[in-house]
Amino acid sequence: MKFIHTADIHLDSPLCGLASYQNAPAQALRGASREAFTRLVDAAIDEAVDFMVIAGDLYDGNWRDYNTGHFFVREMGRLNQAGIPVYLLYGNHDAESEMTRRLTLPANVHLFDSRKAITHKIEALRVALHGRSFKEAATTENLALGYPAAVPGWLNIGVLHTALEGYAAHARYAPCSVQELQAKAYDYWALGHVHEYAVLSEAPWVVFPGNLQGRHIREAGPRGAVMVTASEAGIQSVERLIVDVLRWERLEVEVGGAADLPAVVSLAGQALEALLLAQTGAWPLAVRVTLVGRTPAHGALFGLEAQLREEVLAQAAALSGDRLWIEKLRIETTPALDAAQISARADAIADLQALLAEVPQDGDFMRSLTEDLQQLTAKAPLELIDALPEFKAIRAGDMAGIVAAVTPALLAQLAQAEQGQAGT
């Protein structure tokens, strides 16, 4: 017997902030959740699974129109024609309090009640599925405590949308512990809500399949569901079923050996090429590039995030056309010389470092500097303010942070210029 366990599909998730990303593959991103779900249904039919479990957050809150519901009904109709039942539980995003629109679902879709935990039985397979949907989005009670006892001699599956304990990145809905789930003596817990794949126990199995499709850089890496194989002896295997259609990746580029901006761009291009070669599929990649390392180029890179991103975008376009998109570029390099090494120089650059270290303690100077720079940023065009995070810090009055950020880059530039003059 085989079944698919999925959760956190978030059909037609709005992908907030997408418009602010230049050259973003907007259409591919907007349609990704639907295409991933279609791939999941294809896999269910191709593998002739016995049933599918959806453990919450099928939707992303109320629909803007009925198209989202029509799409889901069509996909459920495909499973219905293939004789595959679906057991659907609503989570915080599609709780009864969140949804004002409903459509009649095909007969193969079986819902879990929101008033109390209920059991759906598949007599032919001797499978009992226990679960309770959310009635309110902010459900903070321990729902697992009210789940029924296991059916003796059957394969028992608990379906629950929960943050469990210890997942600080996710709202603490329906909290419970792994020990409490184990105490129910079920064979498998099909969980939802946490978007990362995780197997928390194998006796019994307690599994988060992760979400079906990454929607932003915090959901990087492969995404999908799980395929579970079982027999009369219990759960035999739990395997990931990857169905995402667009993948988010974080790429750290070590630029310690780069002496200038062109060398940094070249290293970024090489790293992107290696990332492409490492892929086992042809899905589009949305990549956040972070430049790291102690480098002589640190001073030359300060404030050039926007220009560098354009350079790296050009590298990506040359490598694979539309397949690579640079979501963001971050500069987290450090100077080739640290503060102690500069102090040891005992020259004008060391004196400047000492002077800059005292600046944040000079209240009058900091107030004057803040006023002058805030007047400057008030006249700057919006695109420049968006391109330079330092401008936002100036507007917020965080001058100590600005001085701390500028100092290493300024000293690195001066040291590099001094070396250049000495060379000539």
Give the pLDDT band of residue 7 (cuts 50, 70, 90): very high
Q: What is the pTM of this model?
A: 0.80
Q: For the chain, report the end-to-end CA distance as a whole number of angstroms.
A: 77
Please give the backbone phi and psi of residue 387, each rounded to the nearest 5 degrees, phi first: -75, -25
Q: Which candidate, 317, 329, 240, 331, places its Cα nearest to that of 284?
A: 317
Contact 128, 87 (CB under 8 A): no
* Three-state secondary-structure class, residue 24: coil
- Residue with token string 């027999």: 231
Q: Which candidate, 43, 83, 88, places its Cα nearest to that of 69?
A: 88
Residues 110 and 92: their CA atoms lie apart, in Å, by 18
Query: What's the whole-number mean pLDDT along residues 172-188?
Result: 89
Tell me how far the alpha carbon of residue 151 is from its chain's centroid. Answer: 38
Query: What's the whole-number mean pLDDT along residues 158-187?
Result: 82
What is the reported pLDDT for 168? 46
With a cut of 90, say whether residue 126 has pLDDT above it. Answer: yes
On the 0-12 / 13-18 / 19+ scale of CB atoms within 10 A, 167 is middle
With a cut of 80, say whether residue 419 has pLDDT above it. Answer: no
Q: What is the pLDDT of residues 209-261, one digit of tens each?
A: 999 999 888 899 999 999 999 998 899 999 999 999 889 999 999 998 888 88
* Three-state secondary-structure class, residue 255: coil
The CATH classification of domain 2-242, taken from the options 3.60.21.10, 3.40.50.1390, 3.30.365.10, 3.40.50.300: 3.60.21.10
Give the pLDDT band of residue 358 (cuts 50, 70, 90): low
Residues 152 and 126: their CA atoms lie apart, in Å, by 10
Q: Which candidate, 265, 259, 239, 260, places its Cα nearest to that of 318?
A: 265
* Domain extents in the chain: 2-242, 246-336, 340-424
